[in-house]
Structure 1
């Protein structure tokens, strides 16, 4: 169970580092635009926006940090001018990932700790030892030898 908790923690740390890297890429080559929200699904929010060169972009992976958006909204976005498919809602950064990732890590370790404690308690309990049956031989009984 602890190995699972370690794996989940490492994955969460990787997600945070990826979000920070994406933010750095966007900030390093900052472009801004107004985008229209085309579709909102559980796994991504699809937007469409035009860059200054007149090309319309619709990132296939959606926009970063889309909380609260609904189809038809117009929203200010920031994007990586060298890779317009990397876009985020303006003003939102990787710090928004801290709460969900931190909560995931905390809950994971609370559950793993509780399971480890329960397992340890079960292993500490000594099994009930039953007395072996002992045959009683009376002294007056002759013993036959072979």
Structure 2
């Protein structure tokens, strides 16, 4: 049988984890928005070739007007629905050509996944917290 102290610590742990996941999801959207602002502040445009395509990362290669070929180490931002060999329009920061996104896409594509993570986190955490609180109350009233 768990003690009230253990139950309280477990409830606090669930609360901390759920809050941490929510904050990280929010920060992900803020970071995407900041990247978009950086690109928009000194925007360059190019046509890129998709070298490899994945759900989370797609590698691309493009040439800037100065003739330099860029192969961003972290891939392209907002890479969904890309196919290896595809040619796509991209927007990049002239100051940092490794910061590049698929043309026409922006941080708004991160809103639904981030919000979904937050909602699912709290859909799991809330019942756990409520059950734990109820058991703590039952333990206090019967003890």
The alignment's TM-score, normalised by the length of structure 2, stands at: 0.85
Distance 1:45 1:120 in 2: 45
Residue in 2 aligned with 1:66? 79
Uncovered stretches (5+) of structure 2, i.e. residues with no partner = 1-13
Residue in 1 aligned with 2:130? 117
Give the secondary-structure state (helix, strand or coil) at the position aligned to 1:75. Answer: strand
1:88 aligns with 2:104: no
Note the C-alpha offset of 1:117: 0.8
- Choose between structure 1 and 2: higher helix proportion: 2
CA offsets 1:102-134 (integer angstroms, 9 cap, x no match):
01011111111110011122223248x7xxxxx
Of 38-47 and 52-61, deviating more is 38-47
Structure number with greater CO (CA < 8 Å, separation at least 6) is 2
- How big is the alpha-carbon RMSD for the aligned residues of Structure 1 and Structure 2? 1.6
Note the C-alpha offset of 1:42: 4.5
Instruction: Mark the structure with the bigger radius of gyration.
Output: 1
Residue in 2 aligned with 1:102? 115
Residue in 1 aligned with 2:3? none
CA offsets 1:23-61 (integer angstroms, 9 cap, x no match):
001001110000000012354100000000000000000
Distance 1:120 1:82 in 2: 53
Residue in 2 aligned with 1:76? 89
Distance 1:91 1:81 in 2: 17
